């Protein structure tokens, strides 16, 4: 029997639809027991197969049309005592970056308002410090910034160097959403890049942040001279944390004159794509942020990264010391590719932690009301 043409067309459409979906479980599991060998095997798989698998995992855990727009502001530039060999803010190197004092509160709030008006839902603040030791007044100013920006309905992130558990608790109480503390690379390669702070120092800060109930933002930098094995080692390190980081920034080194890595070759695009794809598969629920170096990628290269699982970018006027894509350009690009901005607190892991904080505040407010009511009745 000859089927009607409409049936034939429907079958062909169905075949095309099925061809765009991987034959995988409804939702890939979140694991904390990955081996380096397993991750290396994923990383080394044929690139298009790797991107296809990553895209499938991405669609199981995220809305593929949503991109988180983040804006980063340097609130204290240069003069850092660390020797991070990629960073122009180190006082050990002669670079174009000049040291400055911590910015006053109002210019920061104005920058946050502008970011929100342009569609950013997360505002990040970076200070070039090793830690907060001896910076009580500066820390109090930053806590005020966090409270005020959180009051605008934005997610708030800071990167201030190493933290103690008490400092992390105070940031959480002020309303901090996330804390950025990158591991940068694998444990094995790390001493080739930084000697003034140990890998375990970084992990201790991440633990303090996580224990305080703040979302962890921790990723790395590609192009430091590391090998594929080191990129795998970085992903392995965060994948086996007690809780996967809420976000995993993927930075491509922007060599800056005067730093030890000023002559490093640009990281190949396929390395960026492989890293994003592998991270998406291994960290299925994590936001993967296409961070520093994005301005070196053309629009189609960025689109492939979004397909492979990247779902956050920095947008605005400037990053810490490197260029950033302007809001208008990013919004135009997203419109051409059918992408839209992610709302504040839309990411499930962030919403869960924010919800717990709101419940704690509500309980405290209820207790205060009950206590006040009791006092009124007693006086009557």
Q: What are phi and psi of 340, to 5 degrees?
A: -135, 160
Instruction: Kindly report each contact of residues 259-267 with a partner whose C-beta sits within 8 Å and lies 24 or more positions away, as own/partner.
Output: 259/85, 259/86, 259/87, 259/88, 259/90, 259/93, 259/95, 260/85, 260/86, 260/93, 261/85, 261/86, 261/223, 261/224, 261/225, 264/223, 264/224, 264/225, 265/223, 266/223, 266/296, 267/222, 267/223, 267/293
| Of 247, 277, 274, residue with least CA distance to 342 | 247
Catalytic-role residue among 53, 70, 84, 274: 84
What torsion do the CA atoms of 140, 141, 143, 145 make, to the nearest 10 degrees?
170
Catalytic-role residue among 53, 70, 80, 202: 80
Catalytic-role residue among 124, 135, 197, 210: 124
Q: Which residues pair with 220 in a beta bridge?
A: 184, 250
Catalytic-role residue among 53, 135, 150, 157: 157
Told to judge if 324 belongs to the known catalytic residues of this protein, a careful annotator would answer: no
**Quick one: tokens of 69?**
């727009």
What torsion do the CA atoms of 200, 202, 204, 209 make, to the nearest 10 degrees?
-160
94: helix, coil or strand? coil
**Quick one: tokens of 132?**
């907060």
Residue 269 to residue 223: CA distance in whole angstroms: 11
Task: Look up tokens 């301005």; give the residue.
Answer: 295
Told to judge if 305 belongs to the known catalytic residues of this protein, a careful annotator would answer: no
Told to judge if 5 belongs to the known catalytic residues of this protein, a careful annotator would answer: no
- CA angle, residues 289, 290, 295, in degrees to nearest 5: 150
**Quick one: tokens of 361?**
């505040």
| Axis crossing angle, helix 165-174 with helix 199-211, rounded to the nearest 10 | 40
Catalytic-role residue among 122, 280, 289, 294: 289
Which residues contribute to the annotated binding site for [4Fe-4S] cluster?
80, 84, 87
Which residues contribute to the annotated binding site for [2Fe-2S] cluster?
124, 157, 217, 289
Catalytic-role residue among 217, 231, 294, 324: 217
Residue 49 to residue 25: CA distance in whole angstroms: 17
Q: What are phi and psi of 335, to 5 degrees?
A: -60, -40
Which residues contribute to the annotated binding site?
80, 84, 87, 124, 157, 217, 289
Residues forming the active site: 80, 84, 87, 124, 157, 217, 289
């Amino acid at each position: 029997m000859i089927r009607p043409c409409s049936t034939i067309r429907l079958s062909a459409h169905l075949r095309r639809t099925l061809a765009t979906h991987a034959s995988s479980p409804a939702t890939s599991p979140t694991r904390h027991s990955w081996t380096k060998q397993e991750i290396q095997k994923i990383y080394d798989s044929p690139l298009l197969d790797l991107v296809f698998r990553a895209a499938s995992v991405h669609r199981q855990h995220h809305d593929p049309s949503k991109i988180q727009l983040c804006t980063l502001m340097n609130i204290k530039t240069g003069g850092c005592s660390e020797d991070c060999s990629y960073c122009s803010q180190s006082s050990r190197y002669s670079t174009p970056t000049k040291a400055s004092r911590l910015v006053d509160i109002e210019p920061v709030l104005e920058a946050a308002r502008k970011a929100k008006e342009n569609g950013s839902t997360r505002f990040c603040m970076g200070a070039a410090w090793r830690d907060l030791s001896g910076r009580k007044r500066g820390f109090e100013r930053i806590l005020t910034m966090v409270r005020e920006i959180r009051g605008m309905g934005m997610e708030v992130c800071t990167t201030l160097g190493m933290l103690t558990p008490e400092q992390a608790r105070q940031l959480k109480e002020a309303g901090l959403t996330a804390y950025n503390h990158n591991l940068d690379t694998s444990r094995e390669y790390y001493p080739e890049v930084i000697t003034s702070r140990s890998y375990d120092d970084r992990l201790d800060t991440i633990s303090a942040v996580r224990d305080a109930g703040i979302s962890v933002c921790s990723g790395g930098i590609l192009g430091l001279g590391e090998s594929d094995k080191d990129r795998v080692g970085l992903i392995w390190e965060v994948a086996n944390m007690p809780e996967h980081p809420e976000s995993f920034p993927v930075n491509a080194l922007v060599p800056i004159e005067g730093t030890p890595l000023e002559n490093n070759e640009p990281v190949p695009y396929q390395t960026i794509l492989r890293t994003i794809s592998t991270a998406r598969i291994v960290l299925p629920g994590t936001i993967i942020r296409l961070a520093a170096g994005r301005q070196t990628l053309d629009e189609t290269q960025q689109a492939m990264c979004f397909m492979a699982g990247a779902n956050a970018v920095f947008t605005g006027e400037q990053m810490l010391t490197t260029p950033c894509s302007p809001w208008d350009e990013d919004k135009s690009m997203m419109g051409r590719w059918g992408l839209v901005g992610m709302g504040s607190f839309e990411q499930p892991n962030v919403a869960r932690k924010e919800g717990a904080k709101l419940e704690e505040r509500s309980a405290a407010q209820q207790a205060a009301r009950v206590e006040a009511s009791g006092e009124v009745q007693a006086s009557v």
